[in-house]
Amino acid sequence: MMKKGLVVYKLYRALTHGLSPLIRLHLRWRRFLGLEHPHRWLERLGLPSQPRHAGPLLWFHAVSLGEGMIAVPVIKHCIRRMPHLNVLMTITTMSSFEVLSKSLPSGIILQFSPVDTPTSIHSFLDYWKPNAIVLMESELWPNLIMDASRNGSTEQGIRFQLLQAPPYIINFSGDLKYVIEDFGVNERGRIDIDNLRLELTQKKVWMASSIHSGEEEIILGVHNALMQQQPNTMTIIVPRHPQEGREIAKKLEKEGQNVVLRSQNEKFKPGTDIYVVDTLGELRLLYTLTPIAVIGGSLLPGLSGHNISEAAAAGCAVLTGCHIGHFSHMVLEMQRSNPLSVHQVSGKLELEKALIELFTNATLLEARRRAAKEAFCQLSCGIVENIWSLLNFHIFCRLSADESKSFRL
């Protein structure tokens, strides 16, 4: 098994090395299309744009915005426990850069991650020389991991992780999806949210978040059914990709819906019953405005769900569809903690029925909200400290010991 895996890795390494010139051209094309940062796209080739300060450096790598946001509380905790620690955060998308550049503590180095070619990875590692890498989620980049192992970690151990790791190599400290950052809101943002909350006071509010293309049809159908029984319904739609918000709003307006788009900063008009959020980085705040959250990416075949913990942390009654992929373990954990914490529905009719029941049964709504919050609190307890303990034991204590030996010598 291991021999076969190493052959595959060597083939992968040779292929990525041979394709390096084409990958560079591809990055230039993406820059032209606005998909790469106009001034920092060379970071994707392993060329740094910021200085590397002396001292130990911990590298966090996240692919998506969600993974990046999960890393923020861990980074803050590490800095609190070890103030002189250098922290490097790498991301891959422009949306991640836009949000994380405002969310990370000052002093944290934010860079675009290098593409997984031998030259880019070597250039990156040779400059930054990280003492440890924290890969968010389970995404593996062979060149990154193998080259990093040669610069520090035991190569044989890393190979086992790539191929088939024995239990003593992998440490489980808890699911980082349950780690939710306590974020601060500036005065302007607080006033904005308070005003929005005031406008929603007399409404029956529910939110459909992380909605993928095609799911808006289901949400609209449910909205229309709710309006027949609850004319003061307010449906908040948060597309998975904010740029799709404007198209969704236009589509709904053509169908006669009274829609307000968040990016336009409009007040609700009489009769407004759909609010489309087309902005980045506000989802956690918006969950505090609604008692009910339907998590999208789960209502159509081929989709694979999204993180439900943010809604649960805000004390929402949490609903999701059945197409949830690897998030199924999270749903099961929450339901084991409290059966009322997450309600799965099989489609439009079940979602309709569940929402009507929550709107008309205040006791059930409160029970589901409390269950979601309690399950989240139970499952999230101690995760960040556990991660710090692992990092401290395996990395920083050894660094301190090595420094002491060097001093004695």
Tell me the mean pLDDT in the region 67-88.
90
Top-ranked range on mean pLDDT: pick from 7-16, 267-276, 300-309: 300-309
Tell me the mean pLDDT in the region 23-28.
90
Contact (CB, 8 A) for 330 and 177: yes
Q: What is the pLDDT of residue 282?
A: 87
Q: What is the pLDDT of residue 348?
A: 95
* Helix, coil or strand: residue 3: helix
Q: What are 361's two structure tokens?
A: 């049964």
Query: Which residue in 240, 66, 58 sits closest to 136, CA to CA?
Result: 66
Which is more confidently placed, 209 or 390? 209
Top-ranked range on mean pLDDT: pick from 25-29, 33-37, 142-146, 313-317: 313-317
Query: Rg (Cα) of the chain, in Å, rounded?
Result: 23
Q: What is the pLDDT of residue 270?
A: 83
Q: What is the pLDDT of residue 274?
A: 95
Q: Per-residue pLDDT for 147 more than 90?
A: no
Lowest mean pLDDT among 37-46, 65-74, 375-384, 394-403: 394-403
Q: What is the pLDDT of residue 388?
A: 86
Q: Per-residue pLDDT for 400 more than 80?
A: no
* Helix, coil or strand: residue 59: strand
Lowest mean pLDDT among 88-92, 149-153, 325-329: 149-153
Which is more confidently placed, 6 or 2? 6
Q: What is the pLDDT of residue 314?
A: 94
Residue 155 binned pLDDT confidence (cut-offs 50, 70, 90)? very low
Q: Are strands 86-91 and 57-61 parallel, antiparallel or unpaired?
A: parallel
Q: What is the pLDDT of residue 166?
A: 46
Contact (CB, 8 A) for 291 and 236: no
* Helix, coil or strand: residue 272: coil
Residue 167 binned pLDDT confidence (cut-offs 50, 70, 90)? very low
36 is catalytic: no
Give the span between the Cα atoms of 202 and 98, in whole angstroms: 34
Which is more confidently placed, 147 or 197? 197
Strand (E) or helix (H) holding 305: none
Q: Per-residue pLDDT for 402 more than 60?
A: no
Q: What is the pLDDT of residue 140?
A: 58
Distances (CA, A) of 256 to 33, 220, 237, 247, 251: 34, 11, 16, 14, 9
Give the span between the Cα atoms of 306 and 329, in whole angstroms: 12
CA 216 to chain CA centroid, nearest Å: 21
Tell me the mean pLDDT in the region 271-279.
92
Among 36, 43, 67, 333, which one carries the catalytic annotation? Answer: 67
Tell me the mean pLDDT in the region 124-136.
88
Tell me the mean pLDDT in the region 329-334.
93
Task: Give the E-state strand segments of 139-203 in sequence order.
Answer: none
Q: Per-residue pLDDT for 165 more than 60?
A: no
Strands of 342-344's sheet in order across: 259-261, 274-276, 233-239, 204-211, 292-295, 317-320, 342-344
Which is more confidently placed, 266 or 309? 309
The answer for 187, left when phi > 0, alpha when psi is -120 to 50, beta otherwise, is: alpha
Q: Per-residue pLDDT for 163 more than 50?
A: no
What value does the mean pLDDT of the chain take?
85
Residue 408 binned pLDDT confidence (cut-offs 50, 70, 90)? very low
Q: Per-residue pLDDT for 86 more than 70?
A: yes
Instruction: Give all domains of the chain, ordered by start, each with its CATH number.
Output: 2-169 (3.40.50), 189-380 (3.40.50.2000)
Residue 5 binned pLDDT confidence (cut-offs 50, 70, 90)? low
